[in-house]
Amino acid sequence: MHNALDMLNVCIAPTRLCNLRCDHCYITPELLGDKTQMAEDVYRETFVRIEELFKADRKVSKINIELLGGELTMMPLAFWERNLPWTLERMAAWDALYDAEAALIWCTNLIFKDDGYVGLLNRMGEQYGYGLDLFVPWEPDTNRFKKDFKLLPRYLKTLEAISGIKRKTLCITMSRAVIEQGPQFIVDTFIPKGITDVTCDMLYPAGSGKAYFQKNCTYGQVSDYIIELRGLLPDGVELSPLVEMESSCRTLTHYHYPGNDTYDIEVEPSGEVTFNSSYTGDESSFGTQTLSVRDQAFAAKTIFNNTPELRLRHSMPYAACGECEYAVVCSGGWAWHKQLPRHMADLISHGDCAGLKRVWDFAKSRTGISAGDRSRYLSMIERRQLRGAVEARRLDTAINRGSESVLIESAFVCDYDDYFAQFNRARMVLMTDGLLHGKTWTERLFFYDAIGAHVRVDARWMERAAIEGGEELFRHIVYRNYHYLNFPVIPVANLIANQDWRLSKLLSSTVAHLRHGSAKGAGSGRHDELVEFAYKLLSAESNAEVNLAD
């Protein structure tokens, strides 16, 4: 199944120190008392590295930066007086230079030690408009607001005082208490204080949130809540999941809400980078070797070390996704729930799926369309495939002339840094069996695809790929999750035909239907790439027959 992943999401935590330390927090509890502050040069270098990464990965086109903690306002006000305008200028430049739809999200618990933050945020909001999004939480049962909601009046007063920011988003962490309270509470309590957007987050079992996960509500309750809330909110207030679904179901190109982004990296106060922002401390998703924003090879190392997470974002562990029209963008719903143990999944998997399909259907009915039009997306991938074919031919020509050499993976098994040093130009790679620096074939192919490298593919490669990556690897090939890498159609089809995979059955039934003049056969859901692959196969087979007859 294809997934349209295109977002570089980066969470930067200049401090983990927090003044509230709520019961449920996903951050490892010890970190919330850690007074380490990010050095200013590390903070600024982070943005240099993010820009390098954005330019190095040819498959991302959008940037989302979240500034969070701990609590951001535990940093000295002077740090943000200097660095918030600097950040917003830089991101406005990305927007203009790269058409990157770059957005900056400032996450805060609104319990400020220094009231100067109100003035700073108002000035920044007035100057940079929609470039800055204030993101505030609502969690009624995490002890965030202390006994009898003691801190809530202070929170609301600050929220109202920050009137210069155009987009103020309320993030509701869904739990049984939220469901019992009902959506009218949100309308009555927060909208009069200037909230312009509402979004709903789900719990995931990280940090002390593992115990809190038991208070989770079901997906069905979340869907009902969102649909009811839309009916209660004033027209001018956006409900993010619904707005995103409405826009997404038209073209099935981009969808950020459930966290299936290409990257979800985290930058710690020390400058260390990990690969899943929802897990911290020992639970973090680490690279093969410790990675810092100080590393000169940051971009290549980040693309490489992110590939296991990227694979997970592409995965859809639920049988229903195979037949779902939204799967190409929903990608199996909540990214952080895909690996839940059975007993935890059983707590929440009632009344709807992890992607809230009932809300998708509601969003689609509001748009009035009958089916999403993927043509823009499919032609973009076709262009990338053509570009990849030209690049691979150029590399082969240069290698045949002796002006370029093949990069042999096995020569770099023992030298991590030297391996990355090879990618200062486009390369043709000869893959070695097994893991390389901890990454599988499926993962390394994602790396090469993103950075503009290509791989030597022959009949033997196909057999080895089936052993190394199995059905998953060939599904990525057929559904073109590798955008630039080219694989010969007939050998890929022959290999698939000889396996006992679900993909083998889908392909053979699609080919059989096409032979009889019908485009059906791939089942329900969106299987456009599979159908195109089958057409290419039929065309390649008839060309081969003509050549034989000649």
**C-beta of 71 vs 352, nearer to ligand SF4:** 352
CB 202 within 8 A of CB 222: yes
CB 298 within 8 A of CB 429: no
CA angle 178, 184, 189 (to 5 degrees): 85
- Pick out residues in 320-359 that bind ligand SF4 (CB under 6 A): 320-321, 324, 326-327, 330, 332-333, 353-355, 357
CA angle 502, 506, 512 (to 5 degrees): 145
Would you state the structure tokens that stand for residue 418, as one six-digit string? 């030297």
**C-beta of 364 vs 437, nearer to ligand SF4:** 364
Would you state the structure tokens that stand for residue 221, as one six-digit string? 């309750």
CB 21 within 8 A of CB 271: no
Q: How far is the CB of 525 from ligand SF4 (least distance, A)?
A: 8
Size of the site for ligand SF4 (CB under 6 A): 15
Angstrom distance (rounded) from CA 20 to CA 29: 11
Would you state the structure tokens that stand for residue 45, as one six-digit string? 């270098």
Measured in whole angstroms, the distance separating CA 466 from the mean position of its chain's CA atoms is 27
CA angle 527, 259, 304 (to 5 degrees): 85
**C-beta of 42 vs 330, nearer to ligand SF4:** 330
Q: How far is the CB of 114 from ligand SF4 (least distance, A)?
A: 43
If binding is defined by CB under 6 A, does position 521 make contact with ligand SF4? Answer: no
If binding is defined by CB under 6 A, does position 242 make contact with ligand SF4? Answer: no
Q: How far is the CB of 239 from ligand SF4 (least distance, A)?
A: 17
If binding is defined by CB under 6 A, does position 70 make contact with ligand SF4? Answer: no
**C-beta of 328 vs 537, nearer to ligand SF4:** 328
**C-beta of 131 vs 333, nearer to ligand SF4:** 333
**C-beta of 125 vs 355, nearer to ligand SF4:** 355
Q: How far is the CB of 450 from ligand SF4 (least distance, A)?
A: 24
Q: Closest residue (Cβ) to ligand SF4?
A: 355
If binding is defined by CB under 6 A, does position 222 make contact with ligand SF4? Answer: no
Strand arrangement, sheet containing 263-267:
238-239, 197-201, 167-173, 132-138, 103-107, 62-67, 7-12, 263-267, 272-274, 291-292
Cα 488 to Cα 432, 494, 507, 541: the distances in Å are 20, 10, 16, 12
Q: Which phi and psi (to 5°) does residue 366 adopt? A: -70, -30
If binding is defined by CB under 6 A, does position 362 make contact with ligand SF4? Answer: no
Choosing from 360, 479, 482, 487, the residue that interacts with ligand SF4 (CB under 6 A) is 360
If binding is defined by CB under 6 A, does position 110 make contact with ligand SF4? Answer: no
Would you state the structure tokens that stand for residue 212, as one six-digit string? 């809190």
Q: How far is the CB of 223 from ligand SF4 (least distance, A)?
A: 10
Q: How far is the CB of 509 from ligand SF4 (least distance, A)?
A: 21
Q: How far is the CB of 418 from ligand SF4 (least distance, A)?
A: 41
Q: How far is the CB of 383 from ligand SF4 (least distance, A)?
A: 26
Residues at the contact surface with ligand SF4, assessed by CB under 6 A: 316, 318, 320-321, 324, 326-327, 330, 332-333, 353-355, 357, 360
